[in-house]
Protein backbone atom coordinates (compact mmCIF):
# COMPACT_ATOMS: atom_id res chain seq x y z
CA UNK A 1 0.00 0.00 0.00
CA UNK A 2 2.77 2.42 0.95
CA UNK A 3 4.74 1.37 -2.11
CA UNK A 4 1.79 2.21 -4.43
CA UNK A 5 1.46 5.68 -2.85
CA UNK A 6 5.18 6.27 -3.26
CA UNK A 7 5.05 5.21 -6.92
CA UNK A 8 2.04 7.48 -7.45
CA UNK A 9 3.83 10.46 -5.92
CA UNK A 10 6.99 9.82 -7.96
CA UNK A 11 4.94 9.40 -11.16
CA UNK A 12 3.02 12.58 -10.41
CA UNK A 13 6.21 14.54 -9.77
CA UNK A 14 7.73 13.19 -12.98
CA UNK A 15 4.66 14.15 -15.00
CA UNK A 16 4.61 17.59 -13.38
CA UNK A 17 8.31 18.10 -14.20
CA UNK A 18 7.79 17.15 -17.85
CA UNK A 19 4.66 19.29 -18.24
CA UNK A 20 6.22 22.35 -16.65
CA UNK A 21 9.39 22.07 -18.70
CA UNK A 22 11.67 21.13 -15.85
CA UNK A 23 12.59 17.97 -17.73
CA UNK A 24 12.81 18.08 -21.50
CA UNK A 25 12.25 15.01 -23.66
CA UNK A 26 13.54 16.82 -26.75
CA UNK A 27 17.13 17.64 -27.61
CA UNK A 28 18.07 21.30 -27.22
CA UNK A 29 18.27 23.49 -30.30
CA UNK A 30 21.67 23.30 -31.99
CA UNK A 31 22.47 26.48 -33.91
CA UNK A 32 25.64 25.06 -35.47
CA UNK A 33 23.72 21.90 -36.37
CA UNK A 34 21.05 24.01 -38.07
CA UNK A 35 23.77 25.78 -40.07
CA UNK A 36 25.31 22.43 -41.02
CA UNK A 37 21.92 21.23 -42.31
CA UNK A 38 21.70 24.23 -44.65
CA UNK A 39 25.32 23.83 -45.81
CA UNK A 40 24.91 20.14 -46.64
CA UNK A 41 21.53 20.80 -48.28
CA UNK A 42 23.18 23.43 -50.49
CA UNK A 43 25.94 20.99 -51.48
CA UNK A 44 23.39 18.32 -52.43
CA UNK A 45 21.18 20.77 -54.31
CA UNK A 46 24.16 22.20 -56.22
CA UNK A 47 25.32 18.67 -57.07
CA UNK A 48 21.96 17.83 -58.64
CA UNK A 49 21.69 21.22 -60.37
CA UNK A 50 25.12 20.70 -61.92
CA UNK A 51 24.26 17.19 -63.04
CA UNK A 52 21.00 18.40 -64.59
CA UNK A 53 22.96 21.07 -66.49
CA UNK A 54 25.25 18.38 -67.91
CA UNK A 55 24.12 16.58 -71.08
CA UNK A 56 23.24 12.94 -70.39
CA UNK A 57 26.13 11.41 -72.38
CA UNK A 58 28.57 13.47 -70.31
CA UNK A 59 27.28 12.25 -66.94
CA UNK A 60 30.26 9.93 -66.67
CA UNK A 61 30.10 8.34 -63.23
CA UNK A 62 33.85 8.62 -62.62
CA UNK A 63 33.68 12.42 -63.09
CA UNK A 64 30.99 12.68 -60.38
CA UNK A 65 32.50 10.17 -57.98
CA UNK A 66 34.69 12.69 -56.06
CA UNK A 67 31.63 14.88 -55.39
CA UNK A 68 29.59 11.85 -54.38
CA UNK A 69 32.36 11.03 -51.88
CA UNK A 70 32.51 14.60 -50.49
CA UNK A 71 28.75 14.76 -50.02
CA UNK A 72 28.64 11.28 -48.49
CA UNK A 73 31.22 12.36 -45.92
CA UNK A 74 29.24 15.55 -45.16
CA UNK A 75 26.04 13.51 -44.75
CA UNK A 76 27.78 11.00 -42.48
CA UNK A 77 29.01 13.88 -40.29
CA UNK A 78 25.44 15.19 -40.13
CA UNK A 79 24.22 11.73 -39.05
CA UNK A 80 26.99 11.54 -36.45
CA UNK A 81 26.20 15.02 -35.09
CA UNK A 82 22.58 13.96 -34.64
CA UNK A 83 23.44 10.58 -33.13
CA UNK A 84 25.64 11.99 -30.39
CA UNK A 85 22.91 14.31 -29.14
CA UNK A 86 20.53 12.76 -26.63
CA UNK A 87 16.75 12.80 -27.27
CA UNK A 88 17.24 13.49 -30.97
CA UNK A 89 15.51 10.54 -32.64
CA UNK A 90 13.60 12.55 -35.27
CA UNK A 91 16.72 14.29 -36.58
CA UNK A 92 18.62 11.00 -36.51
CA UNK A 93 15.93 9.28 -38.57
CA UNK A 94 15.78 12.05 -41.18
CA UNK A 95 19.56 12.34 -41.55
CA UNK A 96 19.95 8.56 -41.85
CA UNK A 97 17.20 8.48 -44.48
CA UNK A 98 18.94 11.21 -46.51
CA UNK A 99 22.24 9.31 -46.36
CA UNK A 100 20.57 6.04 -47.42
CA UNK A 101 18.84 7.69 -50.39
CA UNK A 102 22.03 9.43 -51.48
CA UNK A 103 24.08 6.24 -51.32
CA UNK A 104 21.35 4.29 -53.16
CA UNK A 105 21.19 6.87 -55.97
CA UNK A 106 24.97 6.93 -56.24
CA UNK A 107 25.09 3.15 -56.57
CA UNK A 108 22.37 3.22 -59.23
CA UNK A 109 24.31 5.85 -61.19
CA UNK A 110 27.47 3.73 -60.96
CA UNK A 111 25.68 0.52 -62.02
CA UNK A 112 23.88 2.23 -64.91
CA UNK A 113 27.10 3.81 -66.14
CA UNK A 114 28.72 0.37 -66.17
CA UNK A 115 25.85 -0.82 -68.38
CA UNK A 116 26.20 2.20 -70.69
CA UNK A 117 29.86 1.52 -71.49
CA UNK A 118 29.18 -2.07 -72.57
CA UNK A 119 29.71 -3.07 -76.20
CA UNK A 120 26.95 -1.99 -78.54
CA UNK A 121 25.83 -5.56 -79.23
CA UNK A 122 25.39 -6.37 -75.53
CA UNK A 123 21.67 -6.68 -74.63
CA UNK A 124 22.34 -5.15 -71.19
CA UNK A 125 23.70 -1.92 -72.72
CA UNK A 126 21.88 1.27 -71.72
CA UNK A 127 21.40 4.36 -73.84
CA UNK A 128 23.15 7.50 -72.59
CA UNK A 129 19.92 9.19 -71.61
CA UNK A 130 19.00 6.20 -69.43
CA UNK A 131 22.12 6.39 -67.24
CA UNK A 132 20.60 9.07 -65.01
CA UNK A 133 17.45 10.50 -66.57
CA UNK A 134 16.63 14.19 -66.21
CA UNK A 135 13.23 13.42 -64.69
CA UNK A 136 14.79 11.11 -62.14
CA UNK A 137 17.48 13.65 -61.29
CA UNK A 138 14.77 16.25 -60.77
CA UNK A 139 12.77 13.90 -58.56
CA UNK A 140 15.82 13.04 -56.47
CA UNK A 141 16.75 16.70 -56.11
CA UNK A 142 13.22 17.53 -54.96
CA UNK A 143 13.16 14.60 -52.51
CA UNK A 144 16.37 15.82 -50.87
CA UNK A 145 15.02 19.36 -50.78
CA UNK A 146 11.92 18.19 -48.88
CA UNK A 147 13.93 16.00 -46.50
CA UNK A 148 16.36 18.81 -45.67
CA UNK A 149 13.41 21.14 -45.02
CA UNK A 150 11.95 18.53 -42.67
CA UNK A 151 15.27 18.25 -40.84
CA UNK A 152 15.67 22.03 -40.59
CA UNK A 153 12.10 22.41 -39.29
CA UNK A 154 12.70 19.60 -36.80
CA UNK A 155 15.72 21.48 -35.48
CA UNK A 156 13.85 24.79 -35.42
CA UNK A 157 10.95 23.20 -33.49
CA UNK A 158 13.36 22.35 -30.67
CA UNK A 159 13.32 26.05 -29.75
CA UNK A 160 9.63 25.66 -28.79
CA UNK A 161 10.38 22.71 -26.53
CA UNK A 162 13.30 24.51 -24.94
CA UNK A 163 12.03 28.13 -24.70
CA UNK A 164 15.02 29.33 -22.67
CA UNK A 165 17.11 28.85 -25.86
CA UNK A 166 14.75 30.58 -28.30
Q: What is the CATH number of the domain that holds 41?
A: 1.20.120
Distance separating alpha carbons of residues 45 and 120, to the nearest angstrom: 34
Distance separating alpha carbons of residues 44 and 67, to the nearest angstrom: 9
Q: Residue 151 gets which letter from DSSP?
A: H
Please indicate, yes or no, if residue 35 is contained in any of the structural domains.
yes
Q: Which residue has the higher pLDDT, 100 or 12?
A: 100
Q: How many domains does the chain have?
A: 1
Q: Flag whether pLDDT at 21 surpasses 60.
A: no
Please indicate, yes or no, if residue 65 is contained in any of the structural domains.
yes
pLDDT number for residue 9: 47
Please indicate, yes or no, if residue 124 is contained in any of the structural domains.
yes
Sign of torsion over alpha carbons 85, 87, 89, 91: negative
pTM: predicted TM-score of the whole model, two decimal places: 0.81
Please indicate, yes or no, if residue 22 is contained in any of the structural domains.
no
Lowest mean pLDDT among 33-37, 75-79, 90-94, 116-120: 116-120
Mean pLDDT for the chain overall: 86
pLDDT number for residue 47: 98
The burial of 144, by beta-carbon neighbours within 10 Å (0-12 exposed, 13-18 middle, 19 or more buried), is given as buried
102-134 pLDDT, tens digit per residue, is: 999 999 999 998 888 888 888 888 887 788 999
> Residue 134 is part of which domain span?
29-161
- pLDDT-derived band at 8 (thresholds 50, 70, 90) equals low
- State CA 114 to chain mean position distance: 27
Please indicate, yes or no, if residue 5 is contained in any of the structural domains.
no
Amino acid sequence: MMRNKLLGVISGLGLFAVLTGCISTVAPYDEKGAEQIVEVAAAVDTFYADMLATPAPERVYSQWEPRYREITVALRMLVMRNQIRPMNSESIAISEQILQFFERYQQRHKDNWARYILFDDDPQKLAADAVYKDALLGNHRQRFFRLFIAMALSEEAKKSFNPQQG
